[in-house]
Chains A and B, each alone.
Chain A
Amino acid sequence: QSALTQPASVSGSPGQSIAISCIGTSRDVGNYKLVSWYQQYPGKAPKVIISDDTKRPSGVSDRFSGSKSGNTASLTISGLQAEDEADYYCCSFAGSGTWVFGGGTKVTVL
Chain B
Amino acid sequence: EVQLVESGGGLVQPGGSLRLSCAASGFTFTTFWMAWVRQAPGKGLEWVANIQPDGTAQYYLDSVKGRFTISRDNAKDSLYLQMISLRAEDTAVYYCARYPSPNPYYFDYWGQGALVTVSS
Interface residues of A (CB under 8 A from B): 1, 3, 34, 36, 38, 40, 45-48, 51-52, 57, 89, 91, 93, 96-104
From B37, B44, B59, B103, A96 is in contact (CB under 8 Å) with B59
Please count how many residues in chain B sit with their CB below 8 Å of the partner chain's CB atoms. Answer: 23
Interface of A is mostly: strand
From B45, B60, B110, A101 is in contact (CB under 8 Å) with B45
Chain A residue with Cβ nearest B46:
A101
Interface residues of B (CB under 8 A from A): 35, 37, 43-47, 50, 57, 59-62, 95, 103, 105-108, 110-113
Assembly CA distance A98 to B104 (angstroms): 12
Contact A100 B57 (CB under 8 A): no
From A1, A34, A51, B62 is in contact (CB under 8 Å) with A1
